[in-house]
Amino acid sequence: MFTKLTEAEFNELKSVFFYQKYLKKEFIIKEDAAVRYIYFISSGLVKLSYFDNDANEFILSFAFENWWETDFSAFYHQTKATLRLQCLEDTAVYGLSFDDYFLILNKYRLSDYFLDKSIRGHIASQKRILSLLTLNPKQRYEQFLQVYPLLGQRVPKSILALYLGVSRETLSRLYKAKR
């Protein structure tokens, strides 16, 4: 998609992004903060999560190199975040503001690119919901490793257990059985 841009267009497009580095455990987005940017992950790994009133964490997704992430509802509606975006590794991102997002959609004919990314993300979310509803812990773990084979090595086991909806002990048993 970006290969259709001229060099001048590409350089102009780059100018609307800002580059930011974050340290491991640092938050890019905290709940109740305004969400003004969508982030392209240049390097590193982040988790998008929700905390309920009892401080239980629910991990919605992970994002790593060449993925886009934000609290999409808050970004799109320009409201405060209900989700947290936290770095699991030192992470570098390119941020794009709400106004510039819509500018580049129109000016650089990138609607198809972002529509494709949105649909793929929606499909992944539907598959994840179905796996949580229909698969047992072993099947969810195996599916995760099949879909994201390298991510299993990057995500701490305690965080992966939260994502899979299992206890740390159950994940340890599954991990040992897989070896």
Of the candidates 84, 95, 67, the residue with the CA atom closest to the CA atom of residue 159: 84
Amino acid 83: pLDDT:
98
Q: Is the dihedral of CA 67, 69, 75, 76 positive or negative?
A: positive
pLDDT tens column, 42-69: 999 999 999 999 999 999 999 999 999 9
Q: Give the C-alpha separation, 123 to 28, whole Å.
A: 25
Average pLDDT over residues 141-157: 91
Asked if residue 171 lies in contact with residue 177, where contact means CB atoms within 8 angstroms, the answer is no
DSSP letter (8 states) at residue 80:
B
3-state secondary structure of 93: strand
- pTM comes to 0.89
CA 102 to chain centre: 20
Highest mean pLDDT among 27-31, 107-111, 161-165: 27-31
Q: Is the pLDDT of residue 3 over 60?
A: no
Residues composing the chain: 179
Asked if residue 161 lies in contact with residue 171, where contact means CB atoms within 8 angstroms, the answer is yes
pLDDT tens column, 66-121: 999 999 999 999 999 999 999 999 999 999 999 999 998 888 888 888 999 999 99
* Cα dist from 60 to 2, 17, 42, 87, 179, whole Å: 28, 25, 20, 14, 27
